Structure 1
């Protein structure tokens, strides 16, 4: 290849390079620290609607298309929603992921500005799927969270009422218990009504309820908290839920398979559904009985039923 041809090839490669930048946002209760992956530019913006408008302008001025941030106890919700509304690609990292990336890159500096740059670099290296959230499902997820918190509070209140307490305390606990029971019913009714109000969610809800052990609550949780169901390959649904077995082998050592990570909130409800499914007459019961007959421990069996159940949910929604 001649000199002129090589120069032409280099020019084509330069033109093909992405001219956009990637930004990282370190989120605080009051402030957002923003940094770029390809330069040292940095800014600090208020974590409020006025700041979000300023942030989008700053990002566009620096030709940013993708923005990364850490999950920060819901303080990231406002800025994430604002950026998605302006058609930015938003990558939400778990703090452990960013920490692991820092160890890999041997980055030890710690400050808000340095953290924003670290998040930007991690986002630049991210090659996974970037799925835009459905605002309707976000609101439904908040209702589900309230339902779960009400359930936890109800359990605490019942425990308090069961034990010997001063009469006035016991009376207040019983009154609160009745109030929480009614709230729980009302919230569930509202969640189901909102699911029924959207045809696509309504169809998914009814299909999920055809599975053994899956009732209104579990179906609603899977519709809202696992919207990917129906589009996943075999094994991906189990991995997403956190019930896929991982190897623990090294050399001549063959350890027990284990499960880890995944989405804990829907996993809790799928666990309850699996307990029901393996007791009633169904394919899940036959499957569980066969595993128990081979000497598998009960906990291993229930996880296997959970895995089979979530894979069935993925198939029924295809």
Structure 2
């Protein structure tokens, strides 16, 4: 951690549906406010009095969105942690006691260890992300119903489920149109989407997912995009796992989308097909080859946005 970060006053906020608990790193004092507009203003004033410039939050079913937007509007750096990150950090520090106030202090400590700050939330992307989440959840529901229908023998039940699936398909198509139309209405977002569409296997919704859920792309160093997505390999040199690498963490929603793009790129793009086939020939499992293609794709996405030039396909 550099000197700049070590001298920054950091706070952690435990987010609940109705309340927020804040703690400043290294200090005993803590503060509780309501999770509403009035509470946010009081919280910002309390943080300002203590010279806090960086705040950590835990993603909590969307209840953090409002306070995060207000903190960023006030000029504070905001780090949003995934729940698993905080849980593993607590395990590392051997902290078992759990209250809202203790969680706030833990989040502050975890925030102090982060060496990169997530891009500030763009209100446009927040709205698009909510619509995209609905699209993804409806896709999952439709897939589950289709699987269930494979075991249905009663004609009336099959007909009813079929109607539900058709209804979900119509809603899914409508949401996809709305996402793309809203995204294309903004020249800067459209430019990013167009550049990402030049990548092998990256269709309209995959590109939209990267624009919406990975706004940092184009400003990252080599290796960071793969780590952010959760497809960077980490060695595990212990016991039965000696010599093996694993992926973990990262952003699961865009990763699911890029998985589809990787399958298409491996099949239809000559360069990616050669790359994947070489890994398979070396004895790598098919899933490992797909993850490697995903890693190359997300690094390429960062590159085309950084250079502001479309991907050049090789025959």
Normalised to the residue count of structure 1, the TM-score between the two structures is 0.84
Q: 1:218 aligns with which of 206, 213, 216?
A: 206
Q: 1:164 aligns with which of 152, 162, 170?
A: 152
CA–CA separation in structure 1 for the residues paired with 2:128 and 2:69: 15
Given the alignment of the two structures, is residue 239 of structure 1 paired with residue 221 of structure 2, yes or no? Answer: no
Q: 1:145 aligns with which of 128, 133, 158?
A: 133
* Aligned equivalent of 1:184: 172
CA–CA separation in structure 2 for the residues paired with 1:125 and 1:305: 30
Distance 1:20 1:176, change over 3 A: same
What's the CA shift for 1:192? 0.8
Q: 1:272 aligns with which of 260, 263, 266?
A: 260
Contact residue 212 and residue 282 of structure 1 kept, 8 A = no
* Aligned equivalent of 1:229: 217
CA–CA separation in structure 2 for the residues paired with 1:287 and 1:195: 33
TM-superposition CA deviations, 1:155-213 (whole Å, max 9, x none): 12323444435444333222222211111111111111111111111112112222221
What's the CA shift for 1:103? 4.9
CA–CA separation in structure 2 for the residues paired with 1:213 and 1:185: 20
Per the alignment, in what secondary structure is the counterpart of residue 314 of structure 1? helix
* Aligned equivalent of 2:105: 117
Larger Rg: 1
Q: 1:204 aligns with which of 174, 192, 209?
A: 192
What's the CA shift for 1:61? 3.2
What's the CA shift for 1:301? 1.7
Contact residue 140 and residue 191 of structure 1 kept, 8 A = yes
What's the CA shift for 1:99? 4.1
* Aligned equivalent of 2:43: 55
Q: 1:22 aligns with which of 10, 25, 28?
A: 10
CA–CA separation in structure 1 for the residues paired with 2:94 and 2:116: 23
Per the alignment, in what secondary structure is the counterpart of residue 44 of structure 1? strand
CA–CA separation in structure 2 for the residues paired with 1:159 and 1:101: 38
Moved more, 75-84 or 179-188: 75-84
Q: 1:81 aligns with which of 69, 72, 80?
A: 69
TM-superposition CA deviations, 1:110-169 (whole Å, max 9, x none): 322222233334334544325311111111111111110110111123234444354443
Per the alignment, in what secondary structure is the counterpart of residue 22 of structure 2? strand
Contact residue 201 and residue 261 of structure 2 kept, 8 A = yes
What's the CA shift for 1:98? 3.4
Contact residue 12 and residue 23 of structure 2 kept, 8 A = yes
CA–CA separation in structure 1 for the residues paired with 2:72 and 2:105: 21
CA–CA separation in structure 1 for the residues paired with 2:235 and 2:253: 24
* Aligned equivalent of 1:262: 250
Distance 1:110 1:159, change over 3 A: closer
Per the alignment, in what secondary structure is the counterpart of residue 245 of structure 2? coil
Given the alignment of the two structures, is residue 136 of structure 1 paired with residue 129 of structure 2, yes or no? Answer: no
Gaps spanning 5+ residues in structure 2: where? 307-315
Per the alignment, in what secondary structure is the counterpart of residue 247 of structure 1? strand
CA–CA separation in structure 2 for the residues paired with 1:83 and 1:58: 12
Root mean square deviation of aligned Cα = 2.8
* Aligned equivalent of 1:33: 21
Contact residue 118 and residue 216 of structure 2 kept, 8 A = no
Moved more, 253-262 or 272-281: 253-262
Contact residue 36 and residue 42 of structure 1 kept, 8 A = yes
What's the CA shift for 1:233? 2.2
